[in-house]
Amino acid sequence: MMSKHVMDDAKRCLQCKNPQCSKGCPVGTPIRDAIQMLLESDVKQAGQLLFENNPLSIICCRVCPQENQCEGHCVTGIKSTPVQISAIEQYISDFYLNVYEPKKSDKTAGKIGIIGSGPAGITIALLLAKKNYDVTIFEGNDSIGGVLRYGIPEFRLPKKYIDNLGSVLIKSGVKIRPNTTIGTTLNIDDMFRDGFQAIFLGTGVWNPRKMNIKGESLGNVNYAIEYLRKPNAYDLGEKVVVIGAGNVAIDAARTAVRQGVREVSIVSYKSEEMMAARETEIRYAKIDGVKFHYLKSAVEFTEKGVVFADSKVVSDGNNINVVGTVEGTEELMECDSIIVAIGQVPRAVIVSSSPGIEVNSKGLVVVNEFGETSRPGVYASGDVVTGAKTVVEAVRFSKIVANAMDNYVQNLKKN
């Protein structure tokens, strides 16, 4: 049943002639028009409008930082609370994906290989299947979704929405080859040999970033990106310390609470104002009972817990920066387990097995403004290009890349 507040909020939309909400969205979601269609009882058309603009609308409305994007730009928020665009988009997108019957690709346009089925890979697969390409997704895990499935907790993004997208892919004629890691048994050269005309890399950033401090190989130290993949596999004990300042640290902490850990703390070398995590996520973590400790830098892991020292902070007038630790302030924070959440980097398996693909000093794939790598016919977008960013940013760039891949294959056929 439609929640009353969704309709009430839709009625609050001012139908601005120059909608700032769409300008605040990286993919320019046509929010005003979708709301108008909903109010006119044409929810299916509203859903089609959202889906054609953003194939991952059903995901973005749940995980986007709306407070900085659509809702943060809504003019009603100047004097009151902004229209709750995320809730409206959720209702419309949920309805649409349940009734949507995609046209099956006739596979006449060309043959495309997609490595990785995270946000970027799914977006490109859907867009190119719609253009009648023969698309195959190669996924290293047993299910599609990438970071959506294995990096975002169920309480933030229920897996059923990723499964819905999987159904749409299959109905669109996309072949999905699970448990297949390109770069080990098979590589990009094999794919070109077998008739793939263009290949897309969307492998994400799955290697945890190390802290490079003493004790990191001990049995009580874990990495957040691996913990979030399968929390049930871990016995963390009763007291856990999470080290990090971003949304992954928050997700790991809130997941540990839900796994029955009695005391969870997040420790950041930054101040609360400097943390990268969304304010709303920090607030929810506090509601969950997570304790926060700021301006503490880990200097050693031990069997008993983490040794922290006070962060040394300097200000240049405009910015506050952490430049090290204060000597003599070292103190042990006792815990049963430690979760490190200080970022991720790409795995090098594809690049090391495929000559001609340039990467930068961080291991990220180098591309031009159309997603072309240094190897002809190979494209990339998403986190493997930018580092960990928002889902909607991956969608925005992937729409450009899908068009570039289409142009490349069509030119190839002409020549």
pLDDT in tens, 207-224: 889 999 999 999 999 999
**pLDDT score of 405:** 98
**pLDDT score of 1:** 44
Alpha carbons 334 and 320: distance in angstroms, whole number = 29
Within the chain, which residue ranges are assigned CATH 1.10.1060.10? Answer: 4-99
**pLDDT score of 207:** 84
Q: Calculate mean pLDDT across residues 151-174.
A: 95
The two most distant CA atoms of the chain are separated, in Å, by 70
| Exposed e or buried b per residue across 196-218, where buried means at least 16 C-beta atoms within 10 angstroms of its C-beta | bbbbbbbbbbbbbbebeeebeee
Q: Is the pTM of the predicted complex or chain greater than 0.85?
A: yes
Beta strand pairing call for 320-325 and 305-315 = antiparallel
Under CATH, domain 4-99 is a member of which superfamily?
Alpha-helical ferredoxin (1.10.1060.10)
3-state secondary structure of 222: strand
Q: Calculate mean pLDDT across residues 154-173.
A: 96
Alpha carbons 392 and 395: distance in angstroms, whole number = 5
CA distances from 291 to 9, 78, 254, 264, 286 (A): 34, 32, 11, 6, 7
Average pLDDT of the chain?
A: 93
CA distances from 236 to 37, 65, 152, 242, 274 (A): 49, 30, 19, 11, 28
**pLDDT score of 282:** 95
**pLDDT score of 14:** 92
**pLDDT score of 204:** 84
Are the beta carbons of 284 and 300 closer than 8 angstroms? no
**pLDDT score of 274:** 87
Q: Calculate mean pLDDT across residues 307-331.
A: 85
Beta strand pairing call for 134-138 and 198-201 = unpaired
Least confident segment among 62-66, 251-255, 303-307:
62-66
**pLDDT score of 92:** 95
Within the chain, which residue ranges are assigned CATH 3.50.50.60? Answer: 111-205+346-414, 208-343
pLDDT tier, 321 (very low <50, low <70, confident <90, very high otherwise) = confident
User: Tell me, which fold does domain 208-343 have in CATH?
Assistant: FAD/NAD(P)-binding domain (3.50.50)
pLDDT tier, 73 (very low <50, low <70, confident <90, very high otherwise) = very high
Least confident segment among 162-166, 207-211, 319-323, 399-403:
319-323
Q: Quick one: DSSP state of residue 232?
A: G
Q: Calculate mean pLDDT across residues 124-137.
A: 98
3-state secondary structure of 24: coil
Beta strand pairing call for 239-243 and 263-267 = parallel
Are the beta carbons of 42 and 26 closer than 8 angstroms? no
Q: 323 pLDDT exceeds 80? A: no
The 10s digit of each residue's pLDDT in 335-394 is 999 999 998 888 766 777 777 889 888 888 999 999 999 999 999 998 888 887 889 999
Alpha carbons 345 and 384: distance in angstroms, whole number = 8
Q: CA nearest 50: which of 40, 61, 63, 66? A: 61
**pLDDT score of 313:** 81
Q: Which CATH class is domain 111-205+346-414?
A: alpha beta
Q: CA nearest 220: which of 345, 342, 333, 344? A: 333
The sign of the torsion formed by the CA atoms of 46, 50, 52, 53 equals positive
Are the beta carbons of 43 and 64 closer than 8 angstroms? no
Instruction: Give burial (CB, 10 Å; 0-12/13-18/19+) of 343.
Output: buried
pLDDT tier, 133 (very low <50, low <70, confident <90, very high otherwise) = very high
**Count of C-beta atoms within a 10 Å radius of residue 158:** 12
**pLDDT score of 332:** 97
Alpha carbons 233 and 53: distance in angstroms, whole number = 38
The 10s digit of each residue's pLDDT in 21-44 is 999 999 999 999 999 999 999 999
Q: Which residue has the tokens 């952490």?
A: 322
